[in-house]
Amino acid sequence: MNPDIQALHDRFALQDLLTAYCYAVDRLEDVEGLVSLFTPDADYDLSAIGLLRTKGHEGIRAFFTRVFADMAHHAHYSANFTVQRLDGDAASTRAYVTGMGIARDGNCVTVHVDYYLDCVRTAQGWKIARFYEEPLLPMPGSLGEIHGREENHAA
């Protein structure tokens, strides 16, 4: 394939991966589908927003099993997507994301963050090898109230 066309194809596939992640988080029902977007040894790091850092499918699965149990509704909107690096079978992307949720206890949260994804091409397509986010605006206290409980940091 022409290198320019391949780069364009990869860019769209990487953006689709981010979109698939947002949709999976928002559905609040398919933990295995969400986990399948990551490499088996992926680093999942929410420490910059006061939540956990975990590694691998098991840790990601445990975190989202709790998130899905805690939340009644989620909505994530991404913008300003960019491929920061594309080098063969490795890529790094960045996007602004606004995430909103309503917990089952009625607590609400809205965050404005930067998503960073380091991705690798696999036989199954692009997968997330490292996911981390940083705040664009200060984190609301409700984020910790909903997801910051001590048992949520055990993963």
3-state secondary structure (DSSP) of residue 116? strand
Mean pLDDT over each residue of the chain, to the nearest integer: 93
3-state secondary structure (DSSP) of residue 88? coil
User: Would you state the pLDDT for residue 125?
Assistant: 97
User: Would you state the pLDDT for residue 71?
Assistant: 97
Cα separation, 125 vs 151, in Å, equals: 34
pLDDT band at residue 140 using 50, 70 and 90 as cut-offs: confident
User: Would you state the pLDDT for residue 151?
Assistant: 43
Reported as a single tens digit per residue, the pLDDT across 86-116 is: 999 999 999 999 999 999 999 999 999 999 9
Cα separation, 20 vs 2, in Å, equals: 26
Reported as a single tens digit per residue, the pLDDT across 37-67 is: 999 999 999 999 999 999 999 999 999 999 9
Give percent of the chain above pLDDT 90.
Answer: 86
User: Would you state the pLDDT for residue 153?
Assistant: 39
**Is residue 85 within 8 Å of 71, Cβ to Cβ?**
no
The total number of structural domains that make up the chain: 1
Q: What is the CATH number of the domain that holds 130?
A: 3.10.450.50
Domain range holding 105? 3-153
| Torsion over CA: 46, 44, 66, 81 (sign) | positive
- Token look-up 């290198």 returns 3
